């Protein structure tokens, strides 16, 4: 019987190395206010060490310079990298470049791979994914309005996007556009590669957010607002077949959600460690916080929620590795909303236990808290994933034919009396 929670020793050694490396070399960088150039300079020697260790761009297949790790291994790795916003950069799997490299690997022609994918992997280019529009609901992408119209050998793009992460520092954008408005809803959109210096691409700002309220244009991790006005790109910039945009996005999103959930667990664990530490030294009303039942409940509930989220996520990853993306769909929706809520809960409790210190920028908790809030709606809001889970579960059920609940006790009692009539009669006679 195969039922195993162990990690093979060689990979465990890699995980141990990563944990130490991230904590010792990357966490300290968080305390400095670095601009893009400084980040890149600081990252270069760390990236070299990661490459030496054979851990660079692990999400990609070996022929593209990656490790070809399955989702379980990648998940365990992301749990460590998630502890710091800089760590994925050192390992060549930072969003959105990692997802975009997967799209290019999946749907790119050999020419597109040569021109965009290989330089992206080498770190010579940066990319962004441009889909969400201010005027339409991102949670219902069938409403997308940005249009690409074929004109001879070119696509002409017009539209308005925002929250295109890293677009203000990117060299090219993968833009989701409607190419066939008459097609069935999920076959209307396509992905097109647009170099940022194409005339008509107007990146107007990095939108200030809860995570970065004082946004500076061109900062790593910014979320850009972009107008596309009569942007002309060659027809060969289309990724995959016309109308394949959602199909490609779907293939990319499953693994992406597993990585998100594991990264959130890395953040949660860091907040949890702070919660536990605080409870041992903060004294109030005659004892340390650790002696208060409420704080004990926070610790126990957080541990239970993180363990549940971790097992659910690794199980979804295992299912994806063994049975494929569509078999894992329901599991991925489950972890997406469950994991996002665990993240928010654990950080909230850790912050509460630290009082003013937690609220201040003297600890990373307030930044974690602001970062975490978005997890409940990007990559599909909680409500949409819950609805999808419920729909899939309900497919396995039917209403009772006679309209009476199948567990209705009086009905079952009558049936049982009939079924066991002989026995009951005997018992009565013996009484
Ligand atoms: C940090 C961050 C990074 C991002 N990066 C990118 C990026 O790189 N590229 C990109 O294109 N986009 C990006 N986005 C945008 C993100 O994908 C969208 O915010 C997301 O898809 C939700 O779309 P929306 O904001 O338009 O919200 P809406 O679709 O307007 O939804 C708003 C709310 O409506 C409710 N709702 C929606 N549908 C239902 C339903 N069926 N039932 C019940 N309630 C419902 C939910 O509460 C939901 O939160 C990013 C966003 C953030 C915060």
Partner residues linked to 284 by β-bridges = 287
Rg of the Cα trace of the chain? 26
Residue 3 is predicted with a pLDDT of 86
Rounded distance from Cα 118 to ligand 1 centre (Å): 30
Give, for ligand 1, the residue of 377, 379, 385, 389 to mutate: max count of ligand atoms closer than 8 Å to Cβ. Answer: 377
Residue 326 is predicted with a pLDDT of 87
Per-residue pLDDT of the chain in tens (431 residues, 90 and over written 9) = 888 899 999 999 999 999 999 999 999 999 998 988 999 999 999 999 999 999 988 888 887 777 788 899 999 999 999 999 999 999 988 889 988 998 999 899 999 999 999 999 888 999 999 999 999 999 999 999 999 999 999 999 999 999 999 999 999 999 999 999 999 999 999 999 999 999 999 999 999 999 999 988 998 899 999 999 999 999 999 999 999 999 999 888 888 899 999 999 999 999 999 999 999 999 999 999 999 999 999 999 999 999 999 999 999 999 999 998 889 999 999 999 999 999 999 999 999 999 999 999 999 999 999 999 999 999 999 999 999 999 999 999 999 999 999 999 999 999 999 999 999 887 767 66
Residue 262 is predicted with a pLDDT of 96
Q: How far apart are CA 16 and CA 128, in angstroms?
A: 32
Residue 59 is predicted with a pLDDT of 84
> Which residue's alpha carbon is at the smallest distance from atom 24 of ligand 1?
138
Rounded distance from Cα 171 to ligand 1 centre (Å): 25
How far the first Cα of the chain sits from its last, in Å, is: 50
Rounded distance from Cα 57 to ligand 1 centre (Å): 27
Give, for ligand 1, the residue of 129, 132, 166 to mutate: max count of ligand atoms closer than 8 Å to Cβ. Answer: 132
Rounded distance from Cα 210 to ligand 1 centre (Å): 14
Q: Which two tokens stand for residue 57?
A: 């761009």
Rounded distance from Cα 72 to ligand 1 centre (Å): 27
With contact defined as beta carbons under 8 Å apart, do 288 and 280 qualify?
yes
Give, for ligand 1, the residue of 128, 129, 139 to mutate: max count of ligand atoms closer than 8 Å to Cβ. Answer: 139
Atom of ligand 1 nearest to the CA of 377: 49
> Which residue's alpha carbon is at the smallest distance from atom 19 of ligand 1?
378
Give, for ligand 1, the residue of 94, 99, 129, 137 to mutate: max count of ligand atoms closer than 8 Å to Cβ. Answer: 137
> Which residue's alpha carbon is at the smallest distance from atom 41 of ligand 1?
384
Q: How far apart are CA 282 and CA 299, in angstroms?
A: 15
Give, for ligand 1, the residue of 381, 385, 388 to mutate: max count of ligand atoms closer than 8 Å to Cβ. Answer: 381
Residues 245-304 pLDDT 10s:
999 998 888 888 999 999 999 999 999 999 999 999 999 999 999 999 999 999 999 999
Rounded distance from Cα 32 to ligand 1 centre (Å): 31
Residue 27 is predicted with a pLDDT of 96
Residue 77 is predicted with a pLDDT of 96
Residues 164-191 pLDDT 10s:
999 999 999 999 999 999 999 999 999 9
Rounded distance from Cα 136 to ligand 1 centre (Å): 10
Residue 431 is predicted with a pLDDT of 65
Residue 68 is predicted with a pLDDT of 81
**Three-class SS of the chain:** CCCCCCCCHHHHHHHHHHHHHHHHHHHHHHHCCCCHHHHHHHHHHHHHHHHHCCCCCCCCCHHHCCCCCCHHHHHHHHHHHCCCCCHHHHCCCCCCHHHHHHHHHHHCCHHHHHHHHHHHHHCCCCEEEECCCCCCCCCCHHHCCCEEEEECCEEEEEEEEEEEECHHHCCEEEEEEECCCCCCHHHCEEEEEEECCCCCEEEEEECCCCCCCCCCCCCCCCEEEEEEEEEEEEHHHEECCCCCHHHHHHHHHHHHHHHHHHHHHHHHHHHHHHHHHHHHHCEECCEEHHHCHHHHHHHHHHHHHHHHHHHHHHHHHHHHHHHCCCCCHHHHHHHHHHHHHHHHHHHHHHHHHHHHHHHCCCCCHHHHHHHHHHHHCCCCCHHHHHHHHHHHHHCCCCCCCCCCCCCCHHHHHHHHHHHCHHHHHHHHHHC
Atom of ligand 1 nearest to the CA of 165: 8
Q: Which residues line ligand 1 (CB under 6 A)?
A: 96, 129-132, 137-139, 163-165, 223, 374, 377-378, 381, 383-384, 387
Rounded distance from Cα 285 to ligand 1 centre (Å): 44
């Amino acid at each position: 019987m195969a039922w195993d929670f162990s990690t093979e020793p060689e990979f465990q050694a890699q995980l141990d190395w990563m944990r130490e490396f991230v904590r010792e070399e990357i966490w300290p960088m968080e305390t400095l206010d670095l601009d893009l150039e400084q980040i890149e300079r600081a990252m270069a020697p760390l990236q070299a060490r990661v490459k030496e260790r054979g851990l660079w761009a692990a999400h990609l297949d070996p022929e593209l310079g990656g490790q070809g790790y399955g989702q379980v291994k990648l998940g365990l790795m992301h749990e460590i990298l998630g502890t710091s916003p800089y760590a994925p950069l050192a390992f060549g799997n930072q969003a959105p470049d990692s997802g975009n490299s997967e799209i290019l690997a999946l749907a790119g022609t050999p020419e597109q791979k040569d021109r965009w994918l290989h330089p992206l992997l080498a770190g010579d280019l940066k990319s962004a994914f441009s889909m969400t529009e201010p005027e339409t609901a991102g949670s219902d992408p069938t409403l997308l309005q940005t249009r690409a119209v074929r004109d001879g050998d070119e696509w002409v793009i017009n539209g308005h996007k925002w929250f295109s992460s890293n677009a203000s520092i990117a060299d090219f954008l993968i833009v989701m556009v409607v190419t066939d408005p008459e097609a069935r809803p999920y076959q209307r959109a396509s992905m097109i590669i647009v170099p940022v210096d194409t005339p008509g691409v107007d990146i107007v700002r990095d939108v200030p957010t809860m995570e970065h309220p004082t946004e500076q244009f061109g900062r790593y991790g910014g979320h850009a607002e972009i107008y596309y006005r009569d942007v002309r790109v060659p027809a060969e910039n289309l990724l995959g077949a016309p109308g394949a945009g959602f199909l490609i996005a779907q293939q990319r999103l499953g693994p992406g959600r597993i990585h998100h959930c594991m990264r959130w667990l890395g953040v949660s664990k860091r907040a949890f460690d702070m919660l536990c530490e605080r409870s041992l030294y903060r004294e109030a009303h005659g004892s340390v916080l650790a002696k208060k039942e409420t704080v004990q409940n926070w610790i126990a509930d957080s541990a239970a929620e993180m363990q549940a989220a971790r097992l659910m996520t690794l199980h979804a990853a295992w299912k994806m590795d063994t049975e494929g993306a569509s078999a894992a769909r329901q599991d991925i929706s489950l972890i997406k909303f469950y994991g996002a809520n665990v993240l928010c809960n654990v950080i909230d409790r850790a912050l509460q236990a630290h009082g003013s210190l937690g609220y201040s920028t003297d600890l990373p908790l307030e930044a974690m808290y602001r970062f975490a809030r978005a997890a409940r709606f990007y990559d599909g809001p909680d409500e949409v994933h819950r609805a999808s889970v419920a729909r899939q579960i309900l497919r396995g059920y039917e209403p009772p034919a006679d309209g009476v609940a199948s567990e209705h006790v009086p009905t079952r009692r009558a049936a049982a009396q009939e079924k066991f009539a002989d026995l009951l009669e005997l018992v009565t006679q013996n009484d």
